[in-house]
A = this chain, B = another copy of it.
Amino acid sequence: MAADGLLDTIDRQLDWQRDLYRHFHQHPELSLNEHRTAERIEAELGGLGLESLRIGGTGVVTVLDNGPGPTVLARADIDALPVTEDTGLDYASTVDGVMHACGHDMHLVALLGAVRLLSEHREAWSGTYVALFQPAEENAAGAQAMLDDGLTARVPRPDVALAQHVMPAEAGTIGTAPGPVLSAGDSLRITVHGRGAHGSMPHTSVDPVVLAASIVLRLQTIVSREIQPGQFAVVTVGASNAGTKSNIIPDRAELLLNLRTYDPAVRAQVIAAIERIVRGECAAAGAPREPEFEYYDQFPLTSNVAGAHQTVTEAFTDHFASGQVFEAVPATASEDFSRIPDAFGIPYVYWFVGSVAPETFRAAVEAGTVSSVIPANHSPFFAPALDPTLEIATRAHVVAACAYLRP
């Protein structure tokens, strides 16, 4: 298969990729502020003789036009998190309070590696390869920013889109699954209004503290009673805040909700139930004003279409050794990647790349302590095993693309 020949030279470029990885890890930048990151990506692409586009502020895209054939879009996210690194690595973050704690540095360097391989082996494939470096995945703003900046009109329309994410599985493995792999995530700010009063005069108030408490308890019934048993849905009230002093009844309360679903119909059902419950509780309380609902940080569902998933998974299975490709279980995390293929109206495949040193992972599995001892994404101790994760992630991008870009 084409990818196999292409990948023969990967050893020659791995040190370049490792250095790049250490560089980006040491210089993390927060969402929408990935200026130096974008400039370095552009510089590296330039070094490969490739032109690039700036789209969406700190987004970078390069297009490898290589004759007739399908168009594949591969995306890597590039932003870091407001976390203070505590890994003790010699290439730890040099930026106080900012860290690549979610592996986007791995994603972007793997994609640069794939671009170099495809660029240097144009004889081995045919078609168009669009490598997209997306900012601001963490706050769900980056994909939208690129779309708002005209992405769909500025690059060739792809036939399929690809993306990957490191996860706490054994390094050297790849996990794929058809259907939902990441949940849709929605944040919601609810403001309910009461009437303030001195704490000794509750009869002159409409108490928003009691109102908010009633709402919080009633919201529990959405998952417990309204959603079909076994159906995935999460309704979390992550914050509930009202008042600052013991003897002043405040005039409002604010709830911050986070919703997770795998099914748009369930998502719609959850949102309708929340608004119905909040309005009903406000009516029960005699609230003087209607509640306010503000949706934010909305992540789309990530759900692999069966056909594309099969194409890519078969390519992985062909390329990697037995046991390296496993069937992933859907994660409750969320991503904004799917906005891009959804904007084009094309299928996509999103897969996971294990990043924990094998011996560490196996010991944790045996001890039953995977979730407790292995630092998860967003932890100050998050530290992917550079090898073989970086090589596997680079290979995965090339293999997946070549499943479409056969010469």
Contacts and interface: CB of A to CB of B under 8 A. Distances in A.
Interface of A: 183, 185, 187-189, 198-205, 207, 209-210, 212-250, 253, 256-258, 260, 262, 273, 276-277, 279-286, 297, 330, 332-334, 371, 378
A188 to B, nearest CB: 7
Given A202-B236, A280-B285, 20 more contacts: A200-B234, A200-B258, A200-B332, A203-B226, A204-B371, A207-B237, A209-B240, A210-B237, A212-B240, A213-B213, A213-B214, A229-B232, A230-B230, A238-B244, A238-B245, A238-B246, A241-B241, A277-B284, A280-B280, A283-B284
Given A243-B256, A246-B188, A234 B202 contact: yes
User: Quick one: copies of this chain in the complex?
Assistant: 4
Contact of A241 (B215, B243, B262, B332): B243
Given A238-B250, A239-B245, A284-B277, A224 B223 contact: yes
27 contacts: A200-B260, A202-B224, A202-B225, A204-B371, A207-B221, A207-B236, A207-B237, A209-B239, A210-B220, A212-B216, A212-B240, A213-B216, A221-B224, A223-B229, A229-B332, A238-B243, A238-B245, A238-B246, A240-B243, A240-B253, A246-B257, A246-B297, A276-B283, A280-B282, A280-B284, A281-B284, A284-B284
Given A224-B224, A283-B283, A332-B200, A246 B236 contact: yes
A381 B123 CA distance: 70
Given A200-B234, A203-B226, A242 B242 contact: no
Contacts of A253: 240
A91 to B, nearest CB: 27
A100 to B, nearest CB: 19
Contact of A185 (B209, B220, B247, B257): B247
Contacts of A214: 213-214, 217-218
Contacts of A239: 209, 242-246, 250
Most buried by B among A203, A235, A240, A253: A240
A236 B249 contact: yes
